[in-house]
Amino acid sequence: MPRSNLDWVTTLAVPGPAHEEALRDLHALMVRAARHQVWRMRSLVPGIGAGALDELANGAADDALVALLSKLGTFEGRSRFTTWAYKFAVLEAAVQVRKQAWRGREVSFEDVTVVFGVRGEDRVGPAEELEALDLAAALGRAMSEVLTSYQRRIAVALLVDEVPIDVLAQRLATTRGALYKTLHVVRARLRAALADSGHLPPRADARGPEPARPVEEVSS
């Protein structure tokens, strides 16, 4: 019979035979969740075999179990306990796979000079393409003018080079939350600049455009 949320919390909080059994069951749940995440991301670590992937998942589940137990008192019962537990394992497994995938890979964190623009000969073609080129050129100017060097480097590392946020946080000795906050500010500044230049609607809550085709490389 499945445990209720209350059963989980009380048996995990009080030492005894039921506690040991609940811990084993919880660990099994977390291994399952970690394995699911690791296998879902296995294309990021092509050189790693099935056995090593399972080891990675088991290690992630162990670390996640420790993290969960340290936060057991914060469980408020807003979801099922099993769902709450899964998320600790999923997070830990995902972070470990990302770090494994980037182990030994250099992360470029140089400042960036944005040099793309729109050449006269590119000003042909469907209006949609011209709009995309104009937007890209305006975005390039905004990146140079309204972002600090640090903001520009974070934005390029995360969104252009696609360095995973956990990996970048580890290399820069900061946190995922701090990097996301920087990215949020970057987007707000870029959107404000593009609204000022007429490339985006002035509404603060307007969503950004999603051009249907790549913006072609344009040399300066």
Report yes or no: 197 and 138 within 8 Å, Cβ to Cβ. Answer: yes
Cβ-in-10-Å burial (0-12, 13-18, 19+) of 130 comes to middle
171/159 Cα distance (integer angstroms): 16
Report yes or no: 136 and 215 within 8 Å, Cβ to Cβ. Answer: yes
Residue 217 is a binding residue for another protein (CB under 8 A): yes
* Closer of 18 and 29 to another protein (Cβ): 29
* Closer of 24 and 184 to another protein (Cβ): 184
What are the distances in angstroms from CA 78 to CA 45, 53, 61, 82? 35, 32, 22, 11
User: By CB under 8 A, what part of segment 157-176 binds another protein?
Assistant: 159-160, 164-166, 176
Report yes or no: 220 and 118 within 8 Å, Cβ to Cβ. Answer: no
| Residue choice 98, 100, 101, 102 for contact with another protein (CB under 8 A) | 98
CB count within 10 Å of CB 169 equals 18
Q: Least Å distance between CB 65 and another protein?
A: 16
User: By CB under 8 A, what part of segment 63-92 binds another protein?
Assistant: 78-80, 83-84, 86-87, 90-91
User: By CB under 8 A, what part of segment 101-160 binds another protein?
Assistant: 108, 110-116, 132, 135-136, 139-140, 143, 155-156, 159-160
141/171 Cα distance (integer angstroms): 28
Q: Which two tokens stand for residue 29?
A: 């749940």
User: By CB under 8 A, what part of segment 27-56 binds another protein?
Assistant: 32-33, 36-37, 40-41
Q: Which two tokens stand for residue 18?
A: 């039921």
Nearest Cα residue to 141 out of 116, 169, 172, 174:
116
Size of the site for another protein (CB under 8 A): 68
* Closer of 4 and 20 to another protein (Cβ): 4
Residue 26 is a binding residue for another protein (CB under 8 A): no
Residue 210 is a binding residue for another protein (CB under 8 A): yes
* Residues near another protein (CB under 8 A): 32-33, 36-37, 40-41, 78-80, 83-84, 86-87, 90-91, 94, 98, 108, 110-116, 132, 135-136, 139-140, 143, 155-156, 159-160, 164-166, 176-177, 180-181, 183-184, 186-188, 190-191, 194, 200, 204-220
